[in-house]
Structure 1
Amino acid sequence: MRAPERGALPLWLAATLGRTYGRLTETVQGLTDADFRRPTRCEGMEVGPLLVHLLYDAERALAAFATPSTTEPDRDFVSYWQDYPARAEDAPEPDTSFVRTVASAYRHPSETLVGHWRELSEAAARAAAVALTDHHRVVKTQGHVLGVCDVVATLVVEATVHHLDLTVHLPDAPEPDPEGLQVTARTLDGLFGPEAWDVIEWDTTTYVLKATGRVPLDDHDVDRLGSYVTRLPLIG
């Protein structure tokens, strides 16, 4: 079964980012302080620390859009993730002490952390809309140079994947933005490779969860993927 056609990135990518961040805000704004201690799919990060991690990604957006470059891009929205491969099984667990310490400083995260997230995420979405008025603009982020469309796509992927991480023990949370899921799947397609697409038979959400190692592969998946199974997970 051939994977569904993902197509190009959305024309109004800033709107996709705004909705993607908005779904995260909907998820956290009704939580209690105790809910911020619920586990997520990310090792060592509860809901609070993971939201802090996302908050710093929104901050990355603001820094990137204010840091233009005159050099040619050396990454696009797919190759950007080659610097963030999945962690090997025998690798040490990631150090999450920083985000956990920052999260613990919010005495009432249901108000203060959520308010900080809302302020920064909405500012990042507005800045993305301004930056995307010039589709030829390139900026610096994370030690690389990317076009603004590519930067926004990486922000959508980060937020979408972590939305799924964040809500694993929040059964009443909204689903990620559908267009955000498509951008994420399009990114994973680029990493997986066109010759491997014919073996994908998952729906988009399952594809994102399994291709990023959030949900383990079952025996049927392994049989279906064949030699391509060694390519997964595509990112950590």
Structure 2
Amino acid sequence: MTDVPGGGPSPVRVLRESYEALMAVVEPLGDEESWVPTACTGWAARDLVFHCLGDAQRALVALHTPASGPADRDAVTYWRDWAPDPTGAANGRRWSRVGASMFLCFRQLRALYLETAAAAVRAAAATDPELRVATQGHVLTAADLMTTLAVEASIHHLDLVPHLPDAPGPSATGLAAVRTTLDGLLGRPVPLDWTDEHYARAATGRAPLTETERRSLGPDADRLPLFS
């Protein structure tokens, strides 16, 4: 199923298009390009690819981990557990940098990421969207899990490309899922004429707010980033 009857694209389609868009950036990268900086503090492209490999591995595990209990999170509330954690973030940065450095050449990491991401997409397509699955201590429907994965992939896609001028951008369906998620966390549609890309960056702390934007957001400005 590629679309929801009478509605928008299905979570399977959103995940597939988000992952395939990110894979299209990673696939042509050579060893030299893998060292370009990203929008993630301290990470080169290869470090971010290693992190995205972990996301794809988690997707595969979750899609094959049925849960017996009721769902306690959906595609929006999944992100509400996030809280600023400078120590944890620093440890995570070191983990990805060390992990990525264990690959003797980037093509090995690139190949593993591409085959794992493709496998995650195939697994999603074969999974009942209503199946309850477990991940990171929570239970979601497979459909909601797919949306969270697409949101993370789309945001990291934006992180990966600032110094890759010829790279394609994130999928439109993935960025739309990011907007829907952020609006859900904010509790209303954002009252600014932001593109999906800028909204994704600004609401996750990747782009600073101007004073005009702060005035338009009012008290909600102090709630940003909604997650990182």
- Report deviation, 1:135: 3.0
Give the structure-2-normalised TM-score. 0.91
Q: Say whether the 8 Å CA contact 2:9–2:173 is kept in structure 1.
A: no
Q: Does 1:136 align with 2:134?
A: no
Q: Deviations over 1:158-202 (max 9, x none)?
A: 1000000111111111010000000111011110112xx362221
Q: Which residue of 2 aligns with 1:23?
A: 21
Q: After superposition, what is the alpha-carbon deviation per residue over 1:67-97, rounded to whole angstroms, capped at 9, x for unaligned? A: 1011100111111111223x37xx4452122
CA contact (8 A) 2:175 2:196 kept: yes
Paired residue type of 1:141: T
Query: What is the CA distance between 1:222 and its match in structure 2?
Result: 1.3
Query: Residue 215 of structure 2 aligns to which amino acid in structure 1?
Result: D
Number of residue equivalences: 221
**Structure 1: gaps spanning 5 or more residues:** 1-7
Partner of 1:4: none
CA contact (8 A) 2:183 2:190 kept: no
5+ residue gaps, structure 2: 1-5
Say which of 202, 205, 208 aligns to 2:197.
Answer: 205
Alpha-carbon distance change, 30 to 49 in structure 1, aligned in 2, over 3 angstroms: same
The answer to whether 1:182 aligns with 2:179 is no
Structure 1 residue identity aligned to 2:132? V
Normalized against structure 1, the TM-score is what? Answer: 0.89
Which residue of 94, 97, 109 corresponds with 2:94?
Answer: 97
Q: SS in structure 1 opposite 2:126?
A: helix
Q: Deviations over 1:5-46 (max 9, x none)?
A: xxx984432122122111111112222212111111111221
Q: Secondary structure at the match of 1:199?
A: coil
Q: Name the counterpart of 1:41.
A: 39
Q: Which amino acid aligns with 2:175?
A: L
> Counterparts of 2:7 and 2:19 in 1: how far apart (Å)?
17
Cα displacement (A) at 1:234: 0.6
CA distance in 2, matches of 1:21, 1:44: 23
Paired residue for 1:214? 206
Contact 1:57–1:155, Cα closer than 8 Å, also in 2: yes
